[in-house]
Structures are given as structure tokens and as C-alpha cells.
């Protein structure tokens, strides 16, 4: 039974070959060599017709046994090689290495300052209100004591949508909307976007304001001064000095602009002997406009003659620039993550 011996001899031979095989590719080559359609076992089986018929079944059975053994050997070796691959991959993987830190978002400085300022006024009893950015002439100008021929309506400053519809140039129209909707006493702050036809180093066509309005009985300039001083010290620190300069707004009378002692040089006018760039050595920086609500505004919203109140409006980017020492207004609009990421 020569063929049977040859067949059975294939098993130890395959075993040796498998021991040397170190990759799945080599394994596959061996498989083709032994078990393939033209492989060693197939070649032996091809000789079957030359045998006497009574000898053929024994050889066929031997071939099947050998095939089974070979398959089992392949499977075992394949499993071992795959396990080895995994182990090697795991050996390269260092579970003790620190992970990659995930990107962490942060709030935009404009948002941060807006939230901080509104939070301060909420603490003083103010509500937070809002109004539309597309506004009608009547609320943006007329009811604020700026009649049709008023120079503030100039096309140079205002972005008009139609003759009577425009992008609000300040948050003050929300004063009007609030008073039309509510009865005094009331106190609101109104954060929001405003638009002006202005674009240079220190002006952008859109920026943010926060409006304040307080209406009640016997409200005086002293209340305004006390409220704004408390606000300024909450944002810029308790040592900040505040001064009121006479000014003019059509919707307040009297009106004032508020300066604070420069938060960059501490009001000294110089930093390390160098002239302060922020206050230009004056020691003061302007931060907002304000005043006592003009009776003409109360009349426009149908409030009784006895009411009194104050209003103020501040530029959010301006406060943020002063508070964080940001020198360039454009930083707020460029969305450079290297800048924004510093406000975590």
C-alpha cells in the first residue's frame, strides 16, 4: 500500500512546514501546496484509477483522513499566528500613555461680558429684555425724540431697509418697546446687536450694546450715579473711580458720558514709565452714555407726566477690550481660536 504510506507521510511533513511558517501568507502557500486542486494530495489521488478496484477504497479513506488532519493542523496554526499578531499589536499599545485631550470650546468674550454685565444688573433687580434687530424708524428714532429731520438719521450712519424700516442703530428702541408693553415701575437691561454704516480700525458695522432703563417715582441722577458706580466696580474692581461728564443725547436730559479710571494704567496715565496707549495718558476712559429719560420720550409712550427714570447704553466690545486689555476691535469678529481659546 505504497500510496497510503505516501499520503500519511504528508502529515508530519506539513507539520514541519507549518512550524516554519511565520505569516498567514506562507500558511496559505502551504495550504495550496498540500490541499489545493493541483496539490500533493490531489496528485496522489490522480493515481487512483491505476490501482486495482479493490484497493481504491482504502486509499480514498486514507486520503480523507489525511485531509482532515491537514485541515486541523492548518486551523490550529492559523489561530496561533493570529493570536500572535494581536499580542504584537497589544505590545505596541501603551495603555499608560496619557490620552489626547479633547478640544474644549469656550464662550466668546462678547458673550462672557454680556452675561457678566446682565448678571450684575439682575442682582440689582433689573429684568433682561430683548427686541428685534430690524426695527421701525418710529422706535429707533421718532419716539426717542429724534424727529424726521434729525441728523442722527443720516444715511451715512444708518442702514436702511426701506424708508421706514432699518437695522437698529442702538438698543434704545427697546426702551420704547418695553414702556409700550409695561407700566412703571420697571427696570430692564437689554443686550443685543446694533448696526451702523461704519467700518474702520475702531468701528465695525455690527457691534453689541447693552441698554439700561429704570422708570419709577422720584428717580434722580443720584440713583443713576449710584447704580452705574456699583456696576463699574463690579466689572472693573472696587478701586475703580467713576466720573460723569456732561453730554447730549436727544432721548435723555440731562445727559452724561461716564468715564472710569483707566484699568490698564490704574489711572496713572503711564505704565512702567511709558505713556498708556489705552487712555492716552489722561488716566480716564469713556465707557458709556446715560442720562435722565427725556419727558418727550415718556410722552411718546403715553406715560403720565409724574414718572421719572434714567437710561444708559454701553458698548459691549468696548467694555471687553478695557477689561481684558484687548487692543484691536477686529479680534472680536475674526474668530481666531488662538484668541477665543484664552477666555476659558
Closer residue to ligand PHE in complex, CB, 311/319: 311
How many other C-beta atoms are found inside a 10 Å radius of the C-beta of residue 181?
10
Query: For 87, how many CA atoms within 13 A lie in the half-sphere containing its CB?
Result: 6
What is the helix (H) or strand (E) element at residue 206, kind and residue range?
A: strand 206-216
Contacts of 203 (CB under 8 A, 6+ apart): 196, 329
Closer residue to ligand PHE in complex, CB, 199/342: 199
DSSP assignment letter at 186: E
Q: Which residue's Cβ has the minimum distance to ligand PHE? A: 313
The CB-of-333 to ligand PHE minimum distance in angstroms stands at: 19
What is the helix (H) or strand (E) element at residue 326, kind and residue range?
A: none
Contacts of 90 (CB under 8 A, 6+ apart): none
Closer residue to ligand PHE in complex, CB, 114/252: 252
The CB-of-195 to ligand PHE minimum distance in angstroms stands at: 11
Closer residue to ligand PHE in complex, CB, 74/195: 195
Closer residue to ligand PHE in complex, CB, 267/289: 289
Residues that bind ligand PHE (CB under 6 A): 170, 172, 211, 249, 252, 289-291, 311-313
The CB-of-293 to ligand PHE minimum distance in angstroms stands at: 8
The CB-of-251 to ligand PHE minimum distance in angstroms stands at: 6
CB-based contact 51:4 (threshold 8 Å): no
Three-state DSSP at 247 gives strand
The CB-of-105 to ligand PHE minimum distance in angstroms stands at: 31
Amino acid at each position: 500500500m505504497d500510496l497510503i504510506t505516501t499520503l500519511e507521510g504528508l502529515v508530519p511533513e506539513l507539520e514541519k512546514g507549518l512550524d516554519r511558517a511565520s505569516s498567514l501568507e506562507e500558511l496559505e502557500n502551504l495550504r495550496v501546496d498540500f490541499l489545493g486542486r493541483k496539490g500533493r494530495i490531489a496528485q496522489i489521488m490522480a493515481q487512483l484509477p491505476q490501482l486495482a478496484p479493490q484497493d481504491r477504497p482504502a486509499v480514498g479513506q486514507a486520503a480523507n483522513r489525511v485531509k482532515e488532519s491537514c485541515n486541523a493542523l492548518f486551523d490550529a496554526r492559523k489561530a496561533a499566528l493570529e493570536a500572535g499578531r494581536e499580542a504584537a499589536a497589544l505590545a505596541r499599545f501603551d495603555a499608560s500613555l496619557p490620552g489626547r485631550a479633547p478640544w474644549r470650546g469656550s464662550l466668546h468674550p462678547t458673550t462672557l461680558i454680556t452675561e457678566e454685565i446682565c448678571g450684575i444688573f439682575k442682582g440689582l433687580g433689573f429684568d433682561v429684555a430683548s427686541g428685534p434687530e430690524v426695527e421701525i424708524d418710529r422706535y429707533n428714532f421718532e419716539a426717542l425724540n429724534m424727529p424726521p429731520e434729525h441728523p442722527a438719521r443720516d444715511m451715512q450712519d444708518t442702514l436702511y431697509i426701506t424708508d421706514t424700516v432699518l437695522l437698529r442703530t442702538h438698543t434704545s428702541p427697546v426702551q420704547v418697546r418695553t414702556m409700550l408693553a409695561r407700566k412703571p415701575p420697571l427696570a430692564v437691561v437689554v443686550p443685543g446687536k446694533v448696526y451702523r454704516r461704519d467700518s474702520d480700525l475702531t468701528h465695525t458695522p455690527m457691534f453689541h450694546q447693552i441698554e439700561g432703563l429704570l422708570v419709577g417715582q422720584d428717580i434722580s441722577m443720584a440713583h443713576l450715579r449710584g447704580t452705574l458706580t456699583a456696576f463699574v466696580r463690579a466689572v472693573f474692581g472696587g478701586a475703580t473711580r467713576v466720573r460723569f461728564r456732561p453730554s447730549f443725547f436727544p432721548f435723555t436730559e440731562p445727559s452724561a458720558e461716564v468715564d472710569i479710571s483707566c484699568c490698564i494704567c490704574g489711572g496713572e496715565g503711564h505704565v512702567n514709565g511709558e505713556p498708556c496707549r489705552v487712555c492716552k495718558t489722561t488716566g480716564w476712559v469713556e465707557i458709556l452714555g446715560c442720562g435722565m429719560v427725556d419727558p418727550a420720550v415718556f410722552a411718546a409712550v403715553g406715560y403720565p407726566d409724574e414718572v421719572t427714570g434714567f437710561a444708559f447704553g454701553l458698548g459691549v466690545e468696548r467694555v471687553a477690550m478695557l477689561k481684558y486689555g484687548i487692543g484691536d476691535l477686529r479680534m472680536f469678529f475674526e474668530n481666531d481660536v488662538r484668541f477665543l481659546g484664552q477666555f476659558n
